[in-house]
Structure 1
Amino acid sequence: MLANPGSDGSDYLALGDSYTIGEGALEVERWPVQLAGLLRDSGTAISNPDIIAHTGWTTAELQEAIEKSGNQKTYELVSLLIGVNNQYRGQSRARYRAEFRALLQTAIQFAGGRASRVFVLSIPDWGVSPFASDRDRAKIAQEIDQFNAIAQEECRRAAVAFVDITPTTRRAASEPTPGVDSQFTSDGLHYSGKQMRQWAELALPVVSRLLVS
């Protein structure tokens, strides 16, 4: 899904899955939208992001959707957050590495070939959510860590910034009940605007440095 196609600029593209589209949260609560707002508050002129993301997408499905979108724009900033559904579906780490590496190159292309204008957020740990109360949370955490290690290594190889939000998502377990002021949306699985605000705040200093490079 290409959201916000009529934005007033071609500044920022956010690529991902349910965590980027903000499943269960308001559009203004999506972390890329909150990040754009924080950047504007700090004096950086940037439009709200174009978003190519959908709940349930794996790395392969995101790549396919990007190709189908026909998006040929060049952006000043590109973010990528993908992999939770690879882990959820039991796909191999080798497959994730290969497909994530390809997505990094796609993201760099969207940034006009500038790896210095791309950043990646780590995969949140859905195992701490109320939805996962009957799952093997230790196993989920271990697998999330393994996938994140791959993403971080590939980012390092591609000279792409990596922002680790996973510890922040794990602390969300201290507020397990979905509600008005919860860290989770009403489905008990996806993260609320309150939690995603923390992701945006973690990304802000990194992105601010990228935008002056």
Structure 2
Amino acid sequence: MRIEDPRKIELRSLELVEHLKDILKNVDFMVIGGWCTTAYAGNIRLTTDVDMACRPFSHGQVMDSFDRKEFNVKRSGFGVRAKHNETGIEVHIDAGNKVHDGSTNTDIKIPDFIFDKPSIGRITGILNRSKSVEIPVCDLEFFMVLKAVPNVPKHDYDFAVLLTQPLHLRELSVEYSPGRFAELLRSSVKNITPFREKEKRLRDRKYFRGLGNALANPQLPCAG
């Protein structure tokens, strides 16, 4: 049964992330998406669904890790989708060697090395500040690449916050390297036009302020 209350669904999402650490204990994985943004930048918007990446071509191992009584599991695109039967929360796991962004029809190649020694971040809910979970998180510059491509407001907002937030305000104290980001962007994406278009959008102050006002509202369903 789908939970509608934002506070309850966020709490269950955090509990599910904690549970996933045990489910995927034999798989190299990390969180991407909204919970990864939270690990680096803190509570800037509500997140409920869980986005993860696993070492390329681990589809079978990932699918075998889930209890079919607890999750509805199936192959999906370059990865695996596991829907939690009780809550309706979806876990999206990229398990190929690339992530496909549907908003710009762009493939983003996943470098294998980012799974070697991922940083451990602490995530806390925006509506459940007493609940926190430690979880492996995506490499910062590659995560910025994942945020640099989509033509989606929440990704624009996350990218801008991650780009401009001072180091001393970060939840996970990792300094951003523009040079390394540029190198990873060009090696992971064949056509960087979507990133150039994002740059243009974010130069519009009115547009960015509008993003912040909308996405910072915890009642807004902007999961992922």
Normalising by structure 2, we get a TM-score of: 0.30
Higher share of residues assigned helix: 1
Normalising by structure 1, we get a TM-score of: 0.31
